[in-house]
Amino acid sequence: MTLQIDDMAPDFTLPTDVANKKITLSELRGKKVVLYFYPKNNTPGCTKESCDFRDHFTAFTKHGIDVFGISKDNSISHAKFKEKHSLPFTLLVDANADVCEAYGVINKKSLFGKTFLGIQRSTFFIDGQGMIRAIWRNVKVPGHVERVLDAIK
């Protein structure tokens, strides 16, 4: 079943970019959350998207929204990526893609004629009660963060 607007966001507990630290979505109740799923640290599109969230981070916090990036990269990779690009938000490690599966962002992709399963760039806006209020799937990076901000204002 594909998640839709007004569905309860699947709960999860994931490691962060900080060693031995975890985030549980349900513990953030009362706060608004943006989860953006991206394929891989340090690739051109993922770097651009993460830097766009960084560049608009103040606008998100002004609206009381916590931003989290999720990929399959490990904590060390996340920490280096975060430091290299001065990302002010937390990156979450979904090594086994369980959360990616729960949010329906694992899809067939192809690269150089090879087909594989990978993360489809997607963003979810979750309200303070844990309900999904907006979904962007198959995201194209240019202008995406601005569209997210416009939708949640």
User: 100 catalytic, yes or no?
Assistant: no
Cα–Cα distance for residue pair 53/43, rounded to 1 Å: 15
- Which run of H or E residues covers position 55? helix 44-55
Decide: helix, strand or coil at residue 144.
helix
Cα–Cα distance for residue pair 59/118, rounded to 1 Å: 30
Q: Which of 9, 25, 46, 119 is catalytic?
A: 46
Strand duo 90-93 + 65-71: pairing: parallel
Number of alpha carbons in the 13 Å side-chain half-sphere of residue 1? 7
Active site residue ranges: 46
